[in-house]
Structure formats: structure tokens, C-alpha cells
Structure 1
């Protein structure tokens, strides 16, 4: 009887402290999108990690700039946003890594570019997505004007510009390019016209950016603990295969 009471008490305590966490994200398949199974690979990881700690994750999807802004506002119900690359900021604190994404350049098959390091891209017109973090070296060279950065609101627009020869190449995650070419009807005419350059810029780690306040820091720790209880690589690889 005493053991039964202990079990009931433990269940009551776990239920009592269970909370719902709200985060923002964007349409960035296959990592995140409200129409995908489990809302994407990164969302599947995040939900599993929070569930391992007894909590539920609810993700709302917005255009990227708005997703970041809403997560940064004081007293917002949104405690952070994801998936994000780590960068220098005082507004957010980052979780432990929740998978990786191969970042490189999509190029026109008829006009491939040759480079070994980012420095070799000087003078090229390279497409980027507005407000995305790329690599520090690439972003610094674009900021200085050494590389001609061409910013657009989404990856699919960059693929179209590369395919039509309007820019030399564009920064994109290889998994994102594969997904877009296989599922986006508006890219059908470019499916055989573009490809990933064989040189990768970086295998970027993915994170949740939690708002840098007491509440955000609290949930950062809870989430990180949850990550230790799940197999992140298995979830990601099964989703992306």
C-alpha cells in the first residue's frame, strides 16, 4: 500500500509541474515546417527533449525575421526560436546542439564555381537569405563588400536565381536544397540545372536560441537535460534519410 501511495504521489507531482513551452520557428523544411510530419526534423528533436523532462512543446511558425523578433520581446509567451546557428549575441542563450546541417553553395551546373576557401569567393555575387546567419568569414566578407551579397526572403528564390544565372551561387543547407528540388513545383524547371558545390562551407550545428532572461535560462537548462535522454542523431538521421 505504501508503494502504491508513493507511485500515485510521484505521478501527481510530475503532472503538477508539467508545463507547455512556446517557441517560434520558420518554414525551413525538412528541419521545420507546420505541414511536415512532426513539423520537421528539428521540431521532432525539440519535442522529444522537452517530453523527456515531462513538458510539452508548442511551435508557432512565422517568417524568419518575425520569428526572431517575437522571441526576443520581453514578457513574450515565446521563450526562444529555432533552428538557429550559434552566433555572438546578448539577446539569446543557446541550447546544446540538436543536430547538424551541411551548409554549402548551390551552383549552376553549366557555370560551376571553383573555390577552396571563402576568400576565393571574392568578387562573386553570392545569394543569401535575409537575416540568416551563415559563416562568420562569409558574413564578414559580405559586410565588407569583398563578396557581393544578394539577399532574398527565402531559399527557393535563391535557387531560382542560381538556376537562371542571375547570381554565381547561393548559400544553402544541402538537405534543404534536396527537399526543395523534390517537392516544390515552382523549382521543377531548375531541378536539373542546379547542384551543390562539392566544397562544404561548414557542417553547422543547430540550436534553440532561448531569450536571455531568467525564464529563458531556466528552460535552456531543462531542455539541455532532456537532450541527454534522447538519441538526437537517430531522430535526425531517420527523418532525413
Structure 2
């Protein structure tokens, strides 16, 4: 009787342990955008940022599903029901005070200005861009120095829906430059051969921007954020995204 009781208890504990392990294995859902080479439905591993995020969750025994939308919809959807957030995002105080609980840095990218090869910019500081028309993408976090000067009226920011449109506007001479990640610019120009030779990155970078996941400020979002941050410590970032 005692042996049967012990055997029954052992079996119950085994089943309980298996059930608990299964309950802890979650599939988290994030949204993203087509922003090659960092994210995109058709990219290898769906892009560097998605690969990092998926590996971080996997290192902790969890899975990740990513859905891709235009940027504004990605943000809206990722902050809605059934998701835990969206990425990749630049840090901003406004977002941190609002909807975003930012992850630890999950990579970085070189942010600069794409310019025309026919009319390259001569600038060292942002004040040298006085009077220039600079393209930005609607909904992206704009470099504070550019935003401040636009509010002061010393330069003009023109917003479009995506980076490729900005590159084409620069190539056509419709704007003087556009804010863009250098890796994104290189990828888009490589994929659109008609742009080769007409645009280039300005040699001065605006910043080396860290990339984050914006997690929802919910109980599930907080849990996903903690798991993700722990997983980041267990993986190696791709060289192109190394945080400096």
C-alpha cells in the first residue's frame, strides 16, 4: 500500500511537472514592418532583428510569431489585444512615458542622411543644414536635433510613408536629403538598380541608434519583456547589429 502510494505520488508529480512545463512554454506575438535588412516577411530569417528576437525567446524555451504591416499599422496592432508589442523601435522619452515598456537594446544601426551624388551636403553640425528640406518617415522617431530645428523653422522636414520613397525623392532632387539607416539605404538601393550612382550616404552619421522591442505595459507584456531580456543575455547579436 505504501509502495503504491509512493508510486502514485511520483506519477502525479511527474504529470504536474509536465503540465507546468507546458504552461510555461508560451508563443508570444509581435508586429513589425518591412524594413530590410532588419525585418521583413520575405527576408532570410525574416531579417536580423526578427532573428535576434526569435532566438532570445527560444533561449528561454518560448516561441515568437511576427506579423508584418506598414509601420503605423504595425504600431497600432502591436499595442492591441492578442499581441505583446512591436519592433524594431528607437527609444524616445515620449514613447517610454506612453505606451512602450522598452526592452534592453536588441541591436543597433547607423543612422544618417542619404544625399544626392550630384549635390552632396556640406555639413558638420546640424546647424549647417539650415534651409534644407530633409525627408523623414511618418511615425518613425526623428533625431531630436532635426525635430528641434524643424520646430524652430531653420529647416524643413517632409514626411512620407517609407524609406524607399525618400530615397527616390533625393535621387530626383525633390529634397536635399533624408534621414535613414545606412544598412536600410544600402539594401534598398541594391534592390532598385535604377537608384545606383544617384544617391549615397553622407559621411557624417547622425547617431548609432540602438534598436528595441516596444512591449505593452500589461501583465503579459511585462512577462514577455522579462523573458526577452533574459534571453538576450544568452545569445550573440549579428555583427551588423552589435551594440556599441
TM over 0.5: yes
Aligned length: 230
Are residues 1:70 and 2:91 paired? no
2:117 to 106, 109, 113: 109
Partner of 2:139: 131
Question: Which whole-Å deviations, capped at 9, do the CAs of 1:191-224 have from their partners, x for residues lacking one?
Answer: 1111000000000000000112222122111110
Question: Which whole-Å deviations, capped at 9, do the CAs of 1:133-159 have from their partners, x for residues lacking one?
Answer: 121111222233322011111111111
Question: Which whole-Å deviations, capped at 9, do the CAs of 1:151-174 have from their partners, x for residues lacking one?
Answer: 111111111110111110001100
1:174 to 178, 182, 193: 182
How far does residue 78 in structure 1 lie from its aligned partner after superposition? 1.3
Instruction: Check whether the contact 1:14–1:54 (CA below 8 A) recurs between aligned residues.
Output: no
1:16 to 18, 23, 26: 23
Cα distance in 2 for residues equivalent to 1:193 and 1:7: 66
Partner of 2:165: 157
Deviates more, 1:156-165 or 1:116-125: 116-125
Question: Which whole-Å deviations, capped at 9, do the CAs of 1:69-126 have from their partners, x for residues lacking one?
Answer: 11223xx111110000001222111000011000000000110001112222121000
Cα distance in 2 for residues equivalent to 1:233 and 1:114: 33
Segments of 5+ residues of structure 2 without an aligned counterpart are 1-10
How far does residue 67 in structure 1 lie from its aligned partner after superposition? 0.8
Are residues 1:143 and 2:145 paired? no
Are residues 1:39 and 2:39 paired? no
SS of equivalent residue, structure 2 residue 84: strand
CA RMSD of aligned residues (A): 2.2
Partner of 2:35: 28
Cα distance in 2 for residues equivalent to 1:135 and 1:235: 21
Question: Which has the larger Rg?
Answer: 2
Cα distance in 2 for residues equivalent to 1:137 and 1:107: 18
Segments of 5+ residues of structure 1 without an aligned counterpart are none
Cα distance in 1 for residues equivalent to 2:16 and 2:61: 15
Partner of 2:217: 212
Cα distance in 2 for residues equivalent to 1:9 and 1:30: 43
The correspondence of residues 215-226 of structure 1 with structure 2, limited to 5 A, is 215-226=220-231
